[in-house]
Structure 1
Amino acid sequence: MIYKKKIKNVMSVLHICSLVVLFFCITSCTSSERRISLFLYTDTDPYIMLYTEEILANAGTDLRVERYFARNSQTIQNEQIERTINRKTDLMIVNPVDRLGMYPVIERLRQEKIPVIFINREPLARDLDRWNQIWYVGARADQSGQLQASLVATLFGPATRLGPLDRNGDGKIQTVLLKGEQGHQDAEIRTEQVTKSLASAGYDIQLLTTEVANWNEEQAFQKMEGVISRWLPQIELVISNNDAMALGAIKALRAAGKFVDDSGDGKIGCTDASWIPIVGIDGIRDAQVMIDRGYLAGTVYNDYRSQARALMRLARAVLGFSSENITDSKYVWIDYTTIRPE
């Protein structure tokens, strides 16, 4: 009996010791983990959701990323940030609803000494300069407009001698432009740069109408229905500030009888009389499918994969996991590229 009791006591001690060891293993394993709060302007933007997937894929096991969606409301985003401050976080990544409204956010984070990386929508330079623990990861909006102009130039041929896509042969390109949010930095710059670049290259762009569709496929579809009722016989080109709106334009034009296999070769493309070139920006998956199927003439790839990788490399450096310096002062810029049919 005494022998059995001693064995039982020894086993109890060993069990307690193992629990203590396990506890210290768990705490030591999780102590190196850092918490990142990721604030996104919406969960309905296809590009933002792809970008988010890549951020999570690059987080690894040492970074715990918690997501917050603002439903396109800066008030909601501000409240989410305030609540997260109270719960403590090591780093914030913010995709602003309103890039012009970041001053109070930056001031609040500076007070709490919480570093912040902005993505996708660039705050004002004077706001970024308010503190040395603020960065921006993104792409230059002017480059996207310039590359979109290069897609148009490739489609139509030399400005002095337009090809067969100049359906009426007047030497001008009758164009519909689908614009993102009015006043939004990327929407304004993309619009300005694509039209300016084409004009500088000698193209005569006759703008039939500019329709604001707020980056949204369904809004673009509805806007294009109105455009089609008025301008359909004249439309030779649709330029869209993003792919989602380009997809809405394709949907509306198909409903109006465009994009038919007129040539009978079993394909949809520029040899069909009912084909209208549409160019977008972002390179989302559905857009690449439409390029492969012949409905979308091309897009400018806003490289979310490279941006996500650069973002998480910067996050690790900020949090002390590495000493890598990947910024140009406060900025990390990722180049756009074009995607066209093969």
Structure 2
Amino acid sequence: MRITLAPMEGVVDYLMRQLLTDTGGFDLCVTEFIRITNTLYPNSVFYRLCPELHDGCKTRSGTPVHMQLMGNDPTLMAENACKAARLGALGIDLNFGCPAKTVNNHKGGAALLKEPEAVYTIVSAVRSQVPDHIPVTAKMRLGYDSCEHALDIALGIEAAGADSLAIHARTRKEGYRPPAHWEILARIREQLRIRLTANGEIWTAEDYYRCRAVSGCSDIMIGRGAIARPLLAANIKASMRGSEQNFQEDSWPETRAVVLNFAEKILSSPGGRDHPYGVEHPEKYLADRLKQWLRMMTKGHSEAAELFNNVKQHKCAKAILSELKAA
């Protein structure tokens, strides 16, 4: 089985990928998307979104990182994918799942699911131009406003040459509202020859086993669940050891220690635009990120909800860090 850290735009950046893969359990990461519009981007854009290119396109723990592209122009998508490959990308992932209105209004992300032929053409163009040894993968939802054509789109992605496919088991219309339709993934998996990764509503190790039982997919992609429970991937892997499944979840003290490690790393890192791994404004970055992270952690830890209420008005990272240490 393989656990992938999902490409959550505005959440899972380089530093978050580094921190979460350090906890163990993840086999693969995918970057936030690079929006391909009307140009072949300079090297700096790829390095900014994927600093891991400087280190063999792997995180500090050695976890491979694939680069995600999103756009609707097959030629430009292929050209930018080839450039990413030349810079050292270990894989190219194509985004057909982003539900954001701004993206969809510009015919990107999940909006392309309304045009299965366009999805096929984009995947085919990228696969034909990217060197054979570099995987080309795709991520999609079950559809834009219905699941009617999900199987056809998935089969089209396979026919276009994709090496594997991840499906968020909801439509764009459903957003992130439960439930995730794992049972539909089962019907799609039965028809595909390529690897299928299940995504959606995996918050605990027990959720993983239920998803696997219903969908038949042993591979999963975790997004919000990994933010709510930073040790989730490691716990899922640990639950597989031995003769009995162990669903013990991470405690709040363990989770708080992970967050503290992240905060202290950010405040000790150099700022400035020219530092390839630094943060331009560490204190502002940390204040925004800690509040975002604690809000998402309320799904996994009641203590995070209380802490978030205490810090949500703070604008100073050091004040938030003090609250975190005292929690």
Give yes or no for TM over 0.5: no
Q: TM-score, normalised by structure 2?
A: 0.29
Q: TM-score, normalised by structure 1?
A: 0.28
Higher strand share: 1
Which protein shows a greater Rg?
A: 1
Q: Which has the higher contact order (CA 8 A, sep 6+)?
A: 1
